């Protein structure tokens, strides 16, 4: 017997030879299974790494999806602000020229609107490639959501 304690138990008659061999066999099986645990632990580590990578990809995709949703909401808010607050253009009025991407554009407005545009009380904004006029306060709200939507807003500051 390799185990002196086990030998003493056999001599004392507290355990039978059958019980001792069963314990020895169980210990042998456990040792073999524990040797295999190294490979299973490596497998579990790989699985954990893959799960971590997968969750990271999912987080990134969620962030992108949230960003697209936020941008769509902002565009919707800009559209709503422009549609609710636009002023009527006067097709028979005075032309007002302004620059958009190095191109001169023209809209026709009432005489009072030209003065208000030059003083910064009104602003020109774009909606679906159409130009609209809104109050400066509304233009600031639009600029907070989408700066590209505000085409012309004169300020009292001198550069």
* 114 conformational bin, left if phi > 0, alpha if psi -120 to 50, beta if neither: alpha
Question: How many CB atoms are located within 10 Å of the residue 127 CB?
Answer: 16
Task: Please give the pLDDT value at position 134.
Answer: 92
Answer for the pair 133, 123: CB distance below 8 angstroms, yes or no: yes
Q: Tell me the backbone φ, ψ of residue 125, rounded to 5 degrees.
A: -125, 165
Task: Please give the pLDDT value at position 115.
Answer: 87
Task: Please give the pLDDT value at position 56.
Answer: 94
pLDDT tens-digit profile of 55-107?
999 999 999 999 999 999 999 998 998 888 888 887 888 888 888 888 998 88
Tracing tokens 């700066």 back to the chain, one arrives at 147
Provide the pairing of β-strand 150-152 with 122-127: antiparallel
User: Per the structure block, which two tokens stand in for 74?
Assistant: 């902002």
Task: Please give the pLDDT value at position 92.
Answer: 83
Rounded to an integer, the average pLDDT of 39-62 is 87
Instruction: Identify which has the larger pLDDT, 41 or 150.
Output: 150
Rounded to an integer, the average pLDDT of 114-136 is 88
Q: Tell me the backbone φ, ψ of residue 91, rounded to 5 degrees.
A: -65, -20
Taking the whole predicted model, whether its pTM rises above 0.75 is answered as no
If pLDDT is split at 50, 70 and 90, which confidence band does 38 have? low
If pLDDT is split at 50, 70 and 90, which confidence band does 159 have? very low
- Closest among 133, 128, 152, 136 to 93, alpha carbons compared: 133
Answer for the pair 124, 118: CB distance below 8 angstroms, yes or no: no
């Amino acid at each position: 017997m390799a185990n002196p304690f086990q030998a003493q138990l056999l001599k004392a008659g507290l355990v039978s030879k059958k019980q001792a061999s069963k314990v020895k066999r169980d210990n042998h099986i456990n040792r073999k299974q524990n040797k295999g645990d190294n490979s299973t632990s490596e497998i579990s580590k790989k699985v954990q790494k893959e799960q971590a990578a997968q969750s990271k990809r999912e987080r990134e995709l969620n962030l992108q999806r949230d960003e697209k949703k936020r941008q769509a909401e902002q565009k919707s808010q800009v559209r709503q602000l422009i549609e609710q607050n636009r002023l009527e253009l006067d097709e028979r009025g005075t032309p007002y020229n302004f620059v958009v991407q190095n191109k001169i554009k023209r809209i026709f407005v009432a005489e009072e609107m030209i003065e208000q545009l030059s003083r910064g009380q009104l602003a020109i904004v774009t909606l679906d490639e159409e130009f609209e006029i809104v109050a400066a306060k509304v233009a600031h709200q639009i600029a907070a959501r989408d700066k590209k939507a505000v085409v012309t807003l004169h300020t009292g500051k001198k550069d």
